[in-house]
Structure 1
């Protein structure tokens, strides 16, 4: 199993570019309705990731933004930066 935290995301003025071991994908900001922090829970653990919820279609997990710690400042900072880019693109 490959850890969901592997991969990276490049934020550009036009959108997000996802890169993982097996794929590459670009999603324009105009296709994204919101950015969500999601909590997942297993038998003995929990983890958080970030999803880009598209206007039409399913949510896409953002590669490289993942944590298993409750209060992870790096994770929260990444989330804030992604939301800032999205807000700038949507608002103007």
Structure 2
């Protein structure tokens, strides 16, 4: 089982870099078609995560961007920052 809130993401003018456990990857902004928050529900639990949508249609979870409450100011701030970078450098 992995911990959803773990990992790091680094935003640069060239793209976004992910680092999660042993996996590391970098996606250029030009290969990203959107940034979105997703809501998930399982049994009596719910959570939100931040995802980037690639131009191929595939989505990737942004490591370190996770919330277990409906309105979490830190999570919402992460969404705003990633979205601003994407809009500025795409």
Query: TM-score band (shorter)?
Result: over 0.9
Question: What is aligned with 1:45?
Answer: 45
> Within 1, Cα distance between the matches of 2:87 and 2:57?
20
- Provide the alpha-carbon RMSD of the alignment: 0.7
Corresponding residue number in structure 2 for 1:66:
66
Q: C-alpha displacement at 1:11, in angstroms?
A: 0.3
| 1:26 CA drift (Å) | 0.2
Report how many aligned residue pairs link the two structures: 90
1:17 is aligned to 17
1:4 offset after TM fit, Å?
A: 1.3
Structure 1 ranges of 4+ moved more than 6 A: none
- What SS does the aligned partner of 1:80 have? helix
List alignment gaps of at least 5 residues for structure 1: none
Deviation at 1:57, TM superposition (A): 4.3
Hey, which of these two has a bigger chunk of strand by percent?
Answer: 2
TM-score (norm 1): 0.95
Whole-angstrom distance in 2 between the partners of 1:33 and 1:56 = 9
Q: State the SS of the aligned residue for 1:2.
A: coil
Note the 1:67-86 alignment, pairs <5 A: 67-86=67-86
